[in-house]
Chain A
Amino acid sequence: MTAASLLARGLRRLGTHALTWGLTLSGLLLFTFLLSRLSPIDSALQWVGDHASASSYAQARLALGLDRPLPLQFAHYLGQLLHGDLGMSRSTSQPVLDDLKRVFPATLELATVAIVVGSAFGLSLALLSARYPGGAIDTLARVFALFAYSLPVFWLGLLALLLFYARLHWAGGPGRLDDVYLYTLPQGSGFLLYDAWRSGDRTLLANVLSHLCLPALVLALHACANIARLMRAGLLAEMRKDYILASRARGAGPWRVLLAHALPNAGALLLTVLALSYAGLLEGAVLTETVFAWPGVGRYLTTALFAADTAAILGATLLIGLCFILLNALADVLIHFFDPRSV
């Protein structure tokens, strides 16, 4: 294949993908918009409260644009969106974009630590299971994964707080920092681990870690269980294939077979599982964020939902949708890079 035809093929694929992503995003927006508008919650009433006068209520309806027909409201929103304006959040009185810039780093930091820890342990467990299938280690790992996967994450979070924060004082409590540091820090990147590391203040870094470790581990446990279960199945499927038999016949040791042959071939599955788990975490672990008073996207979206704050709901949904699409696209590209046969 010539370079030109390769490029043309790549561009064609990109075009198809972009079209799919665009359609997915607009469908997501339309659906969310309709859901938030058709819900029985009266957002003007939510804004002014139950005691307000009829004229204050009417004024609020007008300000929210609720007097206009639904298609016009949606068109207006899309118009604003094309100008990079996500609108004003009614419940925070801030532009939604500013709100998202504030809450997204908290979620991204938590999710990233959780996925790194979770995938490291999950993959290790899967490898051990695949190395000794049916053995004691495999059984233990499977039981562990099943438990970790089925435990409700908010309950685990509360238990973790009770034990490691309240009883043992090993970890920090709810929130991202102790109050001694909170609100006295200069505005940084929003990624506290990075900000603390850059500030060179060791006790600050320790404090950030002590608050991050519990929610991150609770989420990591869940991700770990998911990755371990799926990767175990994937690796065992690879191990039954002929090329494994062939490499064994050539004298490769069991670990070498597993790591150098089976694992790379299960790479596509691994990337997909990782992308989905990470996207799931980025979506905002609502319950975990609530239990740990973690000011992230999940909490932002839930409070917006309860307040019928349409601009905030749409903005946060759009962000989550974008994360999903970007991660999936990234996984696609990587899979294609590692295994050019896949289309």
Chain B
Amino acid sequence: MTLIFRTGLLLALAAVLPSWAATPARTLVVAQSIDDIVSLDPAEGFELSSVSAFTSLYQRLLQPDPLHPSQLRPALAASWRAGSDGRSLTFKLRPGARFASGNPVRADDVAFSLIRAVKLNKSPAFILNELGWKADNIDASIKVVAGDQVRVVWPAAVGASFALHILSAPVASIVDSKLALANAQNGDSGNGWLKTHSAGSGPFKIRQYLPHEALVLDANVGSPAGAPRLASVIVKNVADAAARRLLVEQGDADIARDLGPDQVAALHGGVHVESVPSAAVDYLAFNAANAENPALKNPALWEAARWLVDYDGIAGKLLKGQFKVHQAFLPTGFPGALNDRPYRLDVARARAILARAGLKDVTIKLDIFNQPPYPEIAQSLQASFAQAGIHLQIQPAVGSQIYAKVRSQTHQAAILFWIPDYFDAHSNASAFAINRNDGTKTVAWRNGWVIPALSDKTDAAVRESDAARREQRYREIQREVQTHSPFVIAFQAQDQVVLRNGVKGYVQGLLADMVYYDRVSK
């Protein structure tokens, strides 16, 4: 009886409903998980979802070209010139630029934004710290020269081209100081308000942000970046990947992100997939500082491990389309990245290396994230390492738990990933190839890799002002890490974005912030 009734009810519902609704015209509906958003303040937000919104909401003085990210393009700055001292830059602002609020973009806003980001000292502040800027010297480092000119100086021994890349990172977004200060509370420079509102000059502005539900953007037609083609963008929180797939197949979403490889393979009905290289590199790390297991600091283990990863099996079959084999710490797309692949699965060679070093029957605890694709990768590693007598005990856990473990050097081995924070080789080089044991928890420090000489070399590379020589230095550093470190860098991620067939003009770049909705039409 209940079944009959229920079917009847559904039939009745079907009769009163239109077949199904497509997304509203001139509105782009994006289905993704936005549960990670902590803050939409560019001086604080450092999660993938918030960072991916910043390019839509804010402009920086200069920004990477979407298609050729190594080239910087003027955004709010019309031009700039480097000082003769090599430690300063003067920016001239674009005339007539206005924020979404209608306030003009002034040199004061630039100074306010940079000083604010350093003083708030939230997650992404370390990027500005690379220039030697700290709360106590930032006021003196940014000077308004004229109403439309601002001069920045920095104490760190780095060149102007590096400084330009730092200033093109999302944390250096220019915030409408009048609007931010009007909403400030208890001297927070508007941080509390900006967590959920926007005060920028980007092609969109926040209409409404409902945490864990949706981020709704409206076009900012007066944006100096040009008016977007769409009237609004709804980034809808759909935590379940299967539901995201259904939504985009049905036409209830125009774009869906983060589908698993199986879901992408099974897609049908009016959608297509765009594969966008991402700058995330995935690596296996052995912690040489862990005294529980002496094998971990044996370079023979590191060397053998490089021959024990089934690179093609994982990238080609297991995670088809979502990973490509990449064995250097600079991702493809970064100037100077090493794109060759000297290592492949060769169990016999690994066995010989281990035998020479007298290593046999080694058991290693392997920490991994409990989310796909890490369990799959770990199982593949477990199988191939076992063939050479290395037994991996897989220990899945949530992200923050693994990070806490790695940062306290209590892990044995872990599969991790690293995303560059700004578009310069130093972002990754400083993580993988510097260990000063000075309290900075670089990737090299976390895994107890003692490298005084290589650290010097990496510091020298960032000071190098000649672009070609600088690239050469990074190639050498990458090779050193590739052949001698306790890291097995194995993959570079590829984002598979699913779009409805009518959606045109979507652009996504290498870094997390390079998501461009302004040229999209449907």
Listed in ascending order, the chain A residues whose CB lies under 8 Å from chain B are 40-43, 45-56, 59, 89-94, 99, 102-103, 121, 124-125, 128, 144, 158, 161-162, 164-166, 168-175, 178-180, 182-183, 206-207, 209-210, 213, 217, 224, 290-293, 295, 299-300, 303, 306-308
Contact = CB atoms under 8 A, between A and B. Distances in A.
Given A41-B401, A49-B47, A166-B250, A300 B212 contact: yes
Interface string B189-221: 000100110000000000110111110100000
Best-buried of A43, A102, A174 by chain B (most CB within 10 Å): A174
A14 B291 CA distance: 60
B126 A51 contact: yes
A164 B234 contact: no
Contacts of B9: 213
A161 B246 contact: yes
Contact of B236 (A99, A158, A293): A293
Contacts of B440: 53-54
Interface stretch (B19-27, B308-316, B482-490): B19-27
A175 B236 contact: yes
B129 interface: yes
Contacts of A48: 46, 122-123
B16 interface: yes
Contacts of B47: 49
Contacts, number: 179
A224 B9 CA distance: 16
26 contacts: A41-B398, A41-B404, A46-B400, A47-B123, A51-B123, A56-B122, A90-B38, A91-B211, A92-B211, A93-B39, A99-B211, A164-B10, A165-B250, A169-B20, A171-B10, A172-B17, A172-B20, A178-B21, A206-B16, A291-B242, A291-B243, A292-B243, A293-B243, A299-B212, A303-B239, A306-B35
A128 B2 CA distance: 12
- Which 10 pairs across A and B sit closest by C-beta, in order of nearness? A92-B211, A53-B126, A93-B195, A42-B404, A46-B400, A170-B14, A52-B123, A48-B123, A169-B20, A174-B243
Contacts of B160: none
B441 interface: yes
A29 to B, nearest CB: 23
A180 B38 contact: no
Given A183-B216, A183-B234, A224 B2 contact: yes
Contacts of A303: 35, 212, 239
A54 B14 CA distance: 58
A164 B250 CA distance: 12
A158 B242 contact: yes
Nearest to B207: A183
A293 B237 contact: yes
A314 to B, nearest CB: 17
B246 A178 contact: no
Interface string B42-71: 000011000000000000000000000000
Contacts of A102: 210
B46 A173 contact: no
Contact of B21 (A47, A55, A180): A180
B441 A306 contact: no
Given A161-B246, A166-B246, A173-B243, 15 more contacts: A40-B404, A41-B398, A45-B407, A53-B129, A90-B38, A124-B1, A125-B2, A170-B17, A179-B27, A183-B207, A183-B234, A207-B17, A224-B2, A293-B240, A303-B212
Given A41-B404, A50-B403, A51-B123, A121 B243 contact: no
B34 to A, nearest CB: 10
B125 interface: yes
B239 A293 contact: yes
Interface residues of B, number: 66
Nearest to A103: B212
Best-buried of A173, A180, A300 by chain B (most CB within 10 Å): A173
Contacts of A91: 35, 38, 211
A291 B244 CA distance: 10
A51 B243 contact: no
A51 B212 contact: no
Contacts of B123: 47-49, 51-52, 56
Interface string B399-430: 01101110100000000000001000000000
Given A52-B123, A56-B123, A173 B247 contact: yes
A147 B105 CA distance: 64
Nearest to A295: B213
A229 B158 CA distance: 74
Contacts of B397: 40
A121 B5 CA distance: 10
Contact of B192 (A50, A93, A99, A103): A93
Contacts of A169: 14, 19-20, 250
B464 interface: no
Contacts of A291: 240, 242-243
Contact of A210 (B13, B29, B238): B13
A92 B446 CA distance: 30
B356 interface: no
B6 interface: yes
Best-buried of B20, B39, B47, B195 by chain A (most CB within 10 Å): B20
A209 B12 CA distance: 12
A175 B237 CA distance: 9
A53 B210 CA distance: 29
Contacts of B126: 51-53, 56
B214 A183 contact: yes
Contact of A51 (B46, B249, B250, B252): B46
A57 B455 CA distance: 24
Nearest to B416: A50
A290 B241 CA distance: 10
B23 A179 contact: yes
Interface in B104-126: 121-126
A303 B35 CA distance: 7
Given A50-B403, A299-B212, A179 B234 contact: yes
A6 B185 CA distance: 55
A174 B247 contact: yes
A303 B239 CA distance: 10
Nearest to B16: A206
Contacts of B16: 206
